[in-house]
Amino acid sequence: MIQTLKSYQFLFEELVKRDFKKKYKRTVLGMAWSVLSPLLSLLVMRLVFTHFFGRSTPHYTTFLFCGNLVFSFFSESTNQGMSALMDNAGIFTKVNVPKYLFLFSKNVQCLINFGLTLCVFFVFCVLDHITFTWRFVLLLYPIGCLVLLNLGLGLILSALFVFFRDMQYLWSVFTQLLMYMSAIFYSVDNFDPKVQRLFLANPVYLIIKYFRVIVIDASVLSWHYHLLMAAEALLAFGLGCWMYKKYNHKFLYYV
């Protein structure tokens, strides 16, 4: 796969540029929306939820931003990835290119937006009197797992979307449910231990918790937690690769 990406490096770079420019086409503020959009969402959530959930939570702004930051990247990446094949059907039906290139380019564009938002996140950490430690470097691990998870789910969703157009509506409902199940604006510490363990089946929650433990608690989770997070991301990616390999020849007949 890496060798194929190198072979189609020029096409891949052009796809990334196209997707990035397309997102901000005909907008007055352009790239500034990459920063303003999550910032405004955070401010709204802070106004709404602080009085209900955040009174007893230390550094609640950072706590909230950790959840919003991760989930926004996950939601944007998977939603854009789902339509990657259909949006580029006019290209791969005429030219024989690896179809996963279109999905990967979408994810790179989302990753760039995530990086810009991450810079805003660090500014908020300073304003919230968070102490920066060497452990912040470990954030690269959950980010890597999140990218892998997004790619895997994107592969699955984009393949299913070719055959079942209903996926866009089903995924919209599912992501809304997942948002409430990812403890973005509340803590799970007050739940029963059995219920807390159920949250571990949610890979998005695992990544959000990792961010909070590193940034707010200045601590490091166990190696079991690291393995669980990697296993869930690799499972999604492996399943996605299998689906593309199995149904690759059928995509042309359904687009």
pLDDT digits (tens, 9 = 90+) for 198-251: 999 999 999 999 999 999 999 999 999 999 999 999 999 999 999 888 887 777
What pLDDT, on a 0 to 100 scale, did the predictor assign at position 47?
67
**With contact defined as beta carbons under 8 Å apart, do 87 and 161 qualify?**
no
Cβ-in-10-Å burial (0-12, 13-18, 19+) of 119 comes to exposed
Nearest to 112 by CA among 36, 25, 29, 20: 20
Cβ-in-10-Å burial (0-12, 13-18, 19+) of 2 comes to exposed
133 three-state secondary structure = coil
Contacts (Cβ under 8 Å, ≥6 apart) of 199: 181, 183, 188, 205
| pLDDT of 96 over the 90 cut | no
| Entry pTM | 0.85
Contacts (Cβ under 8 Å, ≥6 apart) of 66: 121, 208, 211, 212, 215, 216
Q: Is the dihedral of CA 183, 188, 191, 195 positive or negative?
A: positive
